[in-house]
Structure 1
């Protein structure tokens, strides 16, 4: 490394450090490496194109002043962008972006006058070719604290959410992990926290995203060789809400990048909110270092609401929709649909619809008819353990035999059927299914599902296995 380049840059940093916030300095200047000094042009290496664009948009003036103080009016700055070595090349790619002759820091790559640069953040939703677009929060304003009714089953999670909304990043609830079964309001509460933060702190950048979409963005960034842009985008979010974080199960690359993003946000006092269908201790195929961070803050469970809360939820729903209904009918619905708020509201909507379309009065008998159909038609979510037990019992073997390494045909077929039904009846990833059924990988599960499909269409006896097991698991 050229000592002169380093000394010039150190002097520039000393000036910059005295004139900007410590956190901004740490985020945007500490990662920069001085490369060389040639003919009044200082070359510095930055981690990504996004990083370079952010510097030019937000710190171009202070960089120009600092460099001019050190080199003089003819000072120029050349950015060397270190490209992510995604495809296993031994040498990193670099791209040089020289300054123009008009003075420091006018990039030839981005042909926009400095004073017209938009200060808005870049969004990886539009990769490739990151553009100046405003980050939309992706929040649903209909999900609010007002219509998330408090009860014994959700009091801890709701109150923790309110505390986070009042002081994002400033409580011990960071991260806040909200977990619970299907339809209990995890997504609703996560949105409500985000909506409340946006109301109280409009200057904060809040982003809600599903873990599935986050994973897809990461995959796209790797394909397009702009992984660093992806990381830097997420590192400047103030409040990051990731829904269904269990979807990261078995995805080691996505877990690794999320680990680094999480660390950066947490260390910089930014708020992270996660939702999951299970507690951290029950998450399969999530790296221990990530699980340990999930446990840093608060894990709050949403449980099935009690009878009184279910009645309140229904009354609130009817009030918001401007519909009146007798108390005994509301209580009948609340008594018979117990486990899922989504199903509870769905039943009352069906009841209102039947009454409106068929011009029937809403009576207890109509409520019984609707609830009976609704409960009957609602698929019960089964666990992978339960599926393995049903399949093992059907073939008269132990679960340990089904999970064993043996290649005996009838055991292999039983194992493949268990994998097939696990994919059909649960939301678990292929990697998670494989891990729980004999510690296989996702490719084995994928092969098993294809084999079951093929045999079902060609083998009469095998088709009967599938039909019998389907009936047992659908009961």
Structure 2
């Protein structure tokens, strides 16, 4: 019992540190349902409600969790997770069944820096990332032996860069193409370099990074204006490259657009191959949600998948986060996952999208739905099918944006505000008498916002 109390108190202290470093809503979604389960001289076991939470904590808050544990315990500890259904980890019983993934140590362990969750097998491929994935697989299968050295993957936040570059490390290690691989964020590289200077251990620091077969550095844009760190990384790059070792980098923008980094380092970043990842298209977003549901044994209704995929469009992290949030709510409150539940749980995310909705967004969605060119919204044609689609778009623009009638008319080829009024009246009347039209408008509303 004392062990359990110590574990709970230790984890509560860790949560206090974590809470101060992330938004309250984020804390509530991912950390509120966790608790300390067991504690011994080397391990802190944390109970979590489901595998979704594990994936999110490991994928996005791994370093934050371990830093918090280090602050509380002041020593090298393993932080591991156990599902709530599993038996408790007690001295007189067998260890609880942990989720199958090695835990990251607080100390510098090169192998443990690559998350075992990030594999090519669970990376959903689409038109937005197809080339980047192909290049990553080629590098993983022959590290240091292709012309893709370095391989630089760039793209916006939450598009899967970290997943892709760590998948390279996992495949290379699994196939024994390399024996020493190291993943590190640019922030960690910088902090460790600073610590090595303070402790007169720069030689040891250099040795760690210059004696690997595969070096993966995430978010190199954070090297901006850090002159001594850039100098160290420059020499590390040269040492590895000259020995034929593979270098993989990621950034939120093309290397040539990063300011505050020396030209000689930027030049080296472009010696190999630079590839980008774009925001996922609708089909890829649906595939990602379906894959996540299948991985976790969840029966996710297709209308829920469509709702999330149509409304969460900016990046994969938000897409997965929305699904995990929905799952966590349904699990804690013992509700079935339905369309109405999804609308309720995710309404704040959808409202945010609604606030940013433009007339052009509505026009594009309507044209995509009715399979016609975007410019038909502004054309002078009076073809029945085009005129109906245009009226529906005007109706939705009035209902889903704060634009005036005059402004809406201007977006439709400079039409008068009376034309917009007529369109709104016409669609409202049709929705009362024509079930098909009402259904089509409702689908479009669902795609654009919360119906």
TM-score, length-normalised on structure 1? Answer: 0.50
1:339 alignment partner, one of 314, 332, 350: 314
2:251 alignment partner, one of 276, 296, 302: 276
State the Cα distance separating 1:320 from its structure 2 match: 0.5
Q: 1:372 to 1:237 in 2, by over 3 A?
A: same
The aligned counterpart of 1:221 is 196
Partner Cα distance (2:109, 2:306) in 1: 47
The aligned counterpart of 1:140 is 115
Structure 1 stretches lacking a partner, 5+ long: 1-124, 127-132, 381-475
Q: Where does 1:356-375 land on structure 2 (aligned, <5 Å)?
A: 356-375=331-350
Q: 1:360 to 1:233 in 2, by over 3 A?
A: closer
Q: 1:232 to 1:358 in 2, by over 3 A?
A: closer
1:151 alignment partner, one of 106, 126, 146: 126
Q: Secondary structure of the residue that 1:275 maps to in structure 2?
A: strand
Partner Cα distance (2:304, 2:200) in 1: 59
Residue 187 (str. 1) matches residue 162 (str. 2): yes
Cα contact 1:180–1:303 (8 A) shared by 2 = yes
Q: Secondary structure of the residue that 2:348 maps to in structure 1?
A: helix
The structure with the larger Rg is: 1
Partner Cα distance (2:334, 2:177) in 1: 47
Q: Where does 1:251-266 land on structure 2 (aligned, <5 Å)?
A: 251-266=226-241
Q: CA RMSD in A?
A: 2.2
State the Cα distance separating 1:137 from its structure 2 match: 4.4
Cα contact 2:280–2:313 (8 A) shared by 1 = yes
Cα contact 2:141–2:177 (8 A) shared by 1 = no
Cα contact 1:249–1:285 (8 A) shared by 2 = yes
Query: Could you report, residue by residue, the CA deviation over 1:325-358 in whole angstroms, capped at 9, with x for unpaired residues?
Result: 2212211110110011111111112222232333
Q: Where does 1:44-193 land on structure 2 (aligned, <5 Å)?
A: 135-193=110-168
Cα contact 1:235–1:264 (8 A) shared by 2 = yes
The aligned counterpart of 1:205 is 180
Cα contact 2:110–2:183 (8 A) shared by 1 = no
Cα contact 1:137–1:205 (8 A) shared by 2 = no
State the Cα distance separating 1:314 from its structure 2 match: 0.2
The aligned counterpart of 1:267 is 242
Cα contact 2:172–2:178 (8 A) shared by 1 = no
State the Cα distance separating 1:224 from its structure 2 match: 2.4
Figure out how many residues of one structure are paired with residues of the other and give that number. Answer: 250
Cα contact 1:183–1:341 (8 A) shared by 2 = yes
The aligned counterpart of 1:352 is 327
The aligned counterpart of 2:303 is 328
Query: Could you report, residue by residue, the CA deviation over 1:108-166 in whole angstroms, capped at 9, with x for unpaired residues?
Result: xxxxxxxxxxxxxxxxx97xxxxxx9743411101110111110000111111100010
Query: Could you report, residue by residue, the CA deviation over 1:382-419 in whole angstroms, capped at 9, with x for unpaired residues?
Result: xxxxxxxxxxxxxxxxxxxxxxxxxxxxxxxxxxxxxx
The aligned counterpart of 1:304 is 279
Cα contact 1:221–1:227 (8 A) shared by 2 = yes
